[in-house]
Amino acid sequence: AGTLVEDGDYVFVIYAALPSQRGELYRGGLNGPADSRVWTSIAKIGFLPVLRGFVGITQVSPTSTVVGSSPAVAGINPFTFRYTLTRDAIVSMKIFNATGNTLVKTLVNQETRAGSFTNSETWSEGTDDSGQVVSSGTYLVQLTAADAAQPAKVSTATALFPVNMFRITDVQVTPLLARTSDNVVLNYQLSQPMFVAWNVYAPGSVVVNSTGTWPPCPTQSPPSDCTSASVLSPNGSQTVPIVTFRGLRPGRFKISEFWDGRDINGLFVPDGNYVFTLTAQSTSTPKYFATDKVFGNMTVARGSIIFTQFSVLPDTPELFNSSNSITLHPFTINYALTRQSSVTVQILSTNIPPSVVRTIVSGEVRPAGLLQTDVWDGRNDLGNFPPAGFYLVRAVASDVASVLSSGATAQLTIAFDPLRIYDLAITPLRLDSGPAVLSYQVSETMKVAIKIYKSGTIFDLSGNPTPPEAQSLVKRIVGVRPARTQINDSWDGTDFKFSLLKDGSYKFKIVGSTDMAAIDDNTGDVLNPGALSLDRLIDEIPLVRNASASPNEDFINNSFNYPNPVSGESTTFQIYAPFRSVVKMKLYTMSGEIVLDKNFGEVPPSFQAGPVTYVWSKLNQSGNKVARGLYFAVIRVEETEGGKNILQTVKKVLIQ
């Protein structure tokens, strides 16, 4: 039947036979064929001992899960038990308390396991037979193995192993340091999902009984604060946490908790070494505290708030005519802070004590490490421009919602002049280039008055002309001009009666004001000197209709006739007009008798249209030929535009 027999001494008999026709009849089995055999005369008898003994068991080797590295903690589920049998056997494995008198868990009950093979059994959840998680401690694993043929012969092996399933490990604290980190960071790892409570206490607090009873809150369970009289303040009285972080955290993951250095009311705490405790309680039934005693110190060292950057940049307008730079409002205030702060930015006078001109921002929260920008538009708190001068730009930063008083201040002095007339350029009036042009810009929309004075006018330090304005003023231009764009005011070289003025350098003065009532619309007179821009420009406008530096010399040198002496039938007169003028010529005999009177009318300047030419065929006014002799040509030009110059020269003409 193939069934194993029990151990014992078994009797055996051995005899033999040969087939023979003379032998005895032998039938093999009940229905086997019959034949004749000769048998041995003596049979051999003996004993066969069967002695398997007990099933052999190698040492049971318990192993547990290891979590973390600093330090690595063991005694954590699942637990694995490895063993080897010498032959197939019926196995039971049970977990007992350390003394072996209380059954905790039956892992295997009368199950067959293979021999000559490493078997393993697993205790996964660390629970007893009723489903409750076991407490920490030392436990005994018992392995029994019996041969199926001899159930009464049971082999037993035992081993002790630790169980400590609720642990906190890999605890590491990173301090809060100025310009390095904005938070205290607590890193740790739990062996199981647990409720945690991280309490932070004031510097100098003491955790009493830290080497004995743990945790310091035996009557409380997270997620409560887990506080008790076991934590004392520096003066020995019971203290409460500054702040508590609590909640359910996962097991076997790196956990990072962050504290930004604020108390339970959200206020920043002072710098110092703060005491902390970290407790954890299982989610199981029953509940157990983690056995690790986690407490220590963590540093908060923000230091003072620091302005890592602070600058005040004025606006630099585009210039069209000048290479000299100019700075105007608005002013851009850039700054950066080492930590989140409440910031106030103000513009102050340079008086002692300074007064507030404008509050740009007041108590606004600014983040750390980012470049912040505020702008001053150049106006005071009433919306008006303050006087030109020097001002302080001051930024004050303080901790947001803090019990600290470690503020920081940064300031710069700036030059400020809100009303400017700048980028001035003068295009002179020339005959070949059109009217004179005054190009300039104004910093704000202003009413501008330009007054043009006679050539030779002088001004005192107050800008008053000599001769007086009633005698020297020749033109005025008054109007409202837009801000920060090129303005071109032109002058055609005429006076109030639109009469052309003669060539020369004409003085002009420009004033402007954002107060439209400060300058008279018609006369351009200043009605409120205190409202004027400090830029009161005085300069000259060249008025040059004549292209010649010496008109008379050019006229004389370039006016003549050819050929001279005149031997042929005619001679050509060339007359040079240095400016627009009426050109006339008269020809006289030596006795003063007029021979020819020629009026060429108004002609343009010769540098534009060329000289006047006239071919004379030696005929007098009556059309008769003149006699040989010496004649005198009187050539005259009378200016008709911008001046009253009259030029005249006499040229000799010899007729042969």
List C-alpha distances in Å: 276 to 187, 271, 404. 13, 15, 21
Please provide residue 530's backbone torsions phi and psi, each rounded to the nearest 5 degrees.
-70, -15
Q: How confident is the model over 118-146, as a mean pLDDT?
A: 95
* Residue-level pLDDT at 420: 94
Q: How far apart are CA 327 and CA 347, in angstroms?
A: 17
- DSSP bridge partners of 505: 542
Residue whose tokens read 């619309």: 521
Q: Choose which CATH entry (3.90.1300.10, 2.130.10.10, 2.60.40.4070, 3.90.79.10) describes domain 307-416.
A: 2.60.40.4070
Q: Is the pLDDT assigned to residue 429 strictly greater than 90?
A: no
pLDDT band at 29 (very low <50, low <70, confident <90, very high): low
> Do residues 322 and 425 make contact, with C-beta atoms less than 8 angstroms apart?
yes
pLDDT band at 396 (very low <50, low <70, confident <90, very high): very high
CA atoms within 13 A of residue 267's CA, in its CB half-sphere: 8
Q: How confident is the model over 450-460, as a mean pLDDT?
A: 93
pLDDT band at 224 (very low <50, low <70, confident <90, very high): low
Q: Choose which CATH entry (2.60.40.2550, 3.30.1780.10, 3.50.50.60, 2.60.40.10) describes domain 421-544.
A: 2.60.40.2550
pLDDT band at 210 (very low <50, low <70, confident <90, very high): low
The burial of 27, by beta-carbon neighbours within 10 Å (0-12 exposed, 13-18 middle, 19 or more buried), is given as exposed
Q: For 20-34, 183-197, 508-522, which range has the lowest pLDDT when averaged over its residues?
A: 20-34
Q: For 1-5, 422-426, 456-460, 594-598, which range has the lowest pLDDT when averaged over its residues?
A: 1-5
> Do residues 494 and 502 make contact, with C-beta atoms less than 8 angstroms apart?
no
Query: pLDDT tens, 547-569?
Result: 666 888 889 999 999 999 999 99
Q: Is the pLDDT assigned to residue 129 strictly greater than 70?
A: yes
List C-alpha distances in Å: 382 to 82, 142, 376, 379. 88, 92, 13, 8
* Residue-level pLDDT at 6: 77
* Residue-level pLDDT at 607: 79
Query: pLDDT tens, 240-266?
Result: 899 999 899 999 999 999 999 989 888
Q: Which residue has the higher pLDDT, 231 or 540?
A: 540
* Residue-level pLDDT at 442: 96
pLDDT band at 143 (very low <50, low <70, confident <90, very high): very high
Q: For 29-38, 511-520, 603-612, 620-629, which range has the lowest pLDDT when averaged over its residues?
A: 29-38
Q: Is the pLDDT assigned to residue 334 strictly greater than 90?
A: yes
CATH 2.60.40.4070 corresponds to the domain 551-655 = yes
CB atoms within 10 A of CB 204: 14
Nearest in space to 290 (alpha carbons), one of 229, 216, 228, 200 = 216
* Residue-level pLDDT at 641: 75
Q: Is the pLDDT assigned to residue 211 strictly greater than 60?
A: no
Q: How far apart are CA 598 and CA 616, in angstroms?
A: 11
Q: How far apart are CA 359 and CA 516, in angstroms?
A: 28
Q: Is the pLDDT assigned to residue 230 strictly greater than 90?
A: no
Q: How confident is the model over 301-312, as a mean pLDDT?
A: 91
Query: pLDDT tens, 147-189?
Result: 888 888 899 999 999 999 999 999 999 999 887 888 999 999 9
Query: pLDDT tens, 500-532?
Result: 788 888 999 999 999 999 999 999 999 999 999
Q: Which amino acid is at 563?
A: P
Of 206-210, 315-319, 577-581, highest mean pLDDT: 315-319
List the alpha helices (DSSP H) in 102-164: none
Q: Which DSSP symbol is given to 7? A: S
CA-based radius of gyration for the chain: 60
Q: What percent of the chain has pLDDT over 90?
A: 64
* Residue-level pLDDT at 234: 83
Q: How far apart are CA 153 and CA 164, in angstroms?
A: 35
Average pLDDT across the chain, whole number: 90
Residue 17 CB partners (closer than 8 Å, separation 6+): 23, 26, 37, 38, 39, 40
Q: Which DSSP symbol is given to 386? A: P
Q: How confident is the model over 25-53, as a mean pLDDT?
A: 80
- Domain 61-163: assigned CATH number: 2.60.40.4070
Q: How far apart are CA 366 and CA 344, in angstroms?
A: 10
pLDDT band at 540 (very low <50, low <70, confident <90, very high): very high
β pairing state of 61-67 and 73-84: antiparallel
Residue 624 CB partners (closer than 8 Å, separation 6+): none
In degrees, rounded to 5, the angle at the alpha carbon of residue 253 between the alpha carbons of residues 249 and 254 is 95
> Do residues 287 and 279 make contact, with C-beta atoms less than 8 angstroms apart?
no
Q: How far apart are CA 394 and CA 349, in angstroms?
A: 11
168-301: CATH class: mainly beta
* Residue-level pLDDT at 304: 85
Outline which parts of the chain fall under CATH 2.60.40.4070. 61-163, 307-416, 551-655
Q: Is the pLDDT assigned to residue 80 strictly greater than 80?
A: yes
Taken in order 494, 499, 503, 507, is the CA torsion positive or negative? negative
Q: Is the pLDDT assigned to residue 222 strictly greater than 70?
A: no
Burial 102-120 (b: 16+ CB within 10 A, else e): eebbebbeeeebeeeeebe
pLDDT band at 405 (very low <50, low <70, confident <90, very high): low
Q: Is the pLDDT assigned to residue 391 strictly greater than 70?
A: yes
* Residue-level pLDDT at 213: 59
Q: How confident is the model over 104-127, as a mean pLDDT?
A: 95
Taken in order 199, 200, 201, 207, is the CA torsion positive or negative? positive
Structure tokens at 579: 């400016």
Outline which parts of the chain fall under CATH 2.60.40.2550. 168-301, 421-544
